[in-house]
Structure 1
Amino acid sequence: MSPSIIIALLMGKSPQLQAVSELLARSGIHCSIFEAGRDLIHSVAEVRYDMLLIDDELPDIPAIDVVRAVRGAPARDVPIILLATDSSEDSLVDALDAGADDYVCRPLSSRVLMARIAALRRRVTGERLRQGLVVRAGPYQLNSVGRFATLRDERIALTPKEFDLAMLLFSNVGRVLPSSRIEQTVWRHELAPLSRALAGLVSRLRKTLRIGAENGVTITVVYAHGYRLDVLEEDAAPRLPAAGRRTVVRRFTES
């Protein structure tokens, strides 16, 4: 890895994580160390870090709140790995829902941690190369730089996971996307078989973007498979006479 990489390590008062800063230094990575969550939040507003490593046991505020605060800051696209003591599925899902990109349980393996850091940087670099992509479908437009949507020029704010889901669906108009692929894209792993997290996220996205036939775009549940987003032709909207019409799918465009 390049020695120009700067990683912020929010380690609270955990002496075990001192080894992490030493590991990063040996790898040629500059490491800024923080004990309090609020200090890191303030620093993120002023310094552009390449990645944040956040311990889940902090002296001032919950680590989840730090993640949420960072995701609401101007530098909200910084990659985040949560270093956790709790290996339960609920804690993992909560962390990823809050905006963490990865979740590594302690005790930490040096090789595993460095591999996770390298893999996350590769993925983020690829995503940043695609920044500037604008996806259009019907009256909607998704902007990858600001990670927001517009509906007939009305700007709509989206949570990180809402935007990831929207970008995946709007980039695959008319295609059935398996639930497993959506989960890997949005949560970076497949959810438990009985989890309702994906269904809940789809429901929230419909509400946030006001998706429905009245706006020319629908999301359909394909039983036992996944979800499909369709763009309706203008004459398929329900406000017009419905007799004898068919739903026609238009492909999205990029610019």
Structure 2
Amino acid sequence: MTEGNASARLLIIDDEEQIRRFLRISLRSQGYQVIEAETAGKGLELAATQTPDLIVLDLGLPDADGKSVLNELRHWSTVPVMILSVRSSESEKVAVLDAGANDYVTKPFGIQEFLARVRALLRLPRATERPDAGIYDDGYLHIDLIKRIVSVMGEEVHLTRKEFAIFKMLVSNPGQVITQTQLLREIWGPTHAGDTHYLRNFIGRIRQKLREDTDEPRYLRTEPGVGYRFLDGRGD
């Protein structure tokens, strides 16, 4: 874990004491500060007064649905939000991701994957502060978003205009799920929001050009029925 993440403050909004205790112990063992709320009202109050670096939000709260908390947050905050819920339907995931959530984890969950997703989301705010913003290089894949250059093992890869637009949207949000609807609306326009077959074909071509193993992709992960995420291979 990076030094910058060691002092990160996480807000957990969940009415289950056992879940909060489990997350509190796990997160504090990694050096994170943890604050907690068991209701939507308390969660919004702490989000406004304690300036958390990341919010872990349950959807089933006693005084309000978590989606209303997310909607309220997005009126005045860009803090990364991870949804943590027993609701596992694709439509539920798509709805909250389209509403502004950055990730969605279904209960029960593995703590190592959860911590990896936390680290990925905590990298998001600092992306624009780095002097090399717009540059990705892990020794195998090199991306310059400003110059629109993509290289694999030093060999430049040609991406079409739409392929690059898709890739840029994913790379600009490492670790974050970008829904199919978001990608289609942004790149093809609102009238194509349901044309998921376009997206599958383009993602497939990008993977080929990156020399991805289709069974175990290194960079472009599919979240079935929901969308895609770019995996940052540079480590923490």
Short-chain TM bin: 0.5 to 0.7
Alignment-derived partner of residue 16 in structure 2: 13
Contact 2:70 2:99 (C-alpha < 8 Å) held by counterparts: yes
* Matched length: 167
Deviation of the 1:13 alpha carbon: 3.1
- Indicate yes or no: 2:167 matched with 1:181: yes
CA distance in 2, matches of 1:32, 1:43: 8
Alignment-derived partner of residue 36 in structure 1: 39
Superposed, 1:196-215 pairs within 5 Å as 198-200=183-185, 203=189
- Indicate yes or no: 2:108 matched with 1:123: no
Deviation of the 1:60 alpha carbon: 0.9
Deviation of the 1:43 alpha carbon: 2.1
CA shift digits 1:178-235 (9 cap, x unpaired): 37537636794465xxx65544556469xxxxxxxxxxxxxxx9xx769xxxxxxxxx
CA distance in 2, matches of 1:41, 1:61: 11
One-letter amino acid of the counterpart of residue 96, structure 1: L
Flag the structure with larger Rg.
Answer: 1
One-letter amino acid of the counterpart of residue 87, structure 2: D
For structure 2, which runs of at least 5 residues remain unmatched after alignment? 135-144, 149-159, 192-197, 204-236
Secondary structure, aligned partner of 1:45: helix
CA distance in 2, matches of 1:188, 1:3: 20
- Indicate yes or no: 2:31 matched with 1:45: no
Distance 1:79 1:197, change over 3 A: closer
Contact 1:6 1:51 (C-alpha < 8 Å) held by counterparts: yes
Alignment-derived partner of residue 109 in structure 1: 110
Alignment-derived partner of residue 25 in structure 2: 22
One-letter amino acid of the counterpart of residue 120, structure 2: A
Alignment-derived partner of residue 140 in structure 2: none
Contact 2:121 2:176 (C-alpha < 8 Å) held by counterparts: no
CA distance in 2, matches of 1:188, 1:7: 17
Distance 1:190 1:78, change over 3 A: closer
TM-score (norm 2): 0.58
Share of identical aligned residues, percent?
A: 22
One-letter amino acid of the counterpart of residue 125, structure 2: V
Contact 2:54 2:121 (C-alpha < 8 Å) held by counterparts: no
One-letter amino acid of the counterpart of residue 177, structure 1: K
Q: Which moved more, 1:18-27 or 1:176-185?
A: 176-185
TM-score (norm 1): 0.54
CA shift digits 1:105-128 (9 cap, x unpaired): 111211111111111112332134
CA distance in 1, matches of 2:116, 2:44: 26
- Indicate yes or no: 2:47 matched with 1:61: no
Secondary structure, aligned partner of 2:124: helix
Contact 2:166 2:183 (C-alpha < 8 Å) held by counterparts: no
Contact 1:183 1:189 (C-alpha < 8 Å) held by counterparts: no
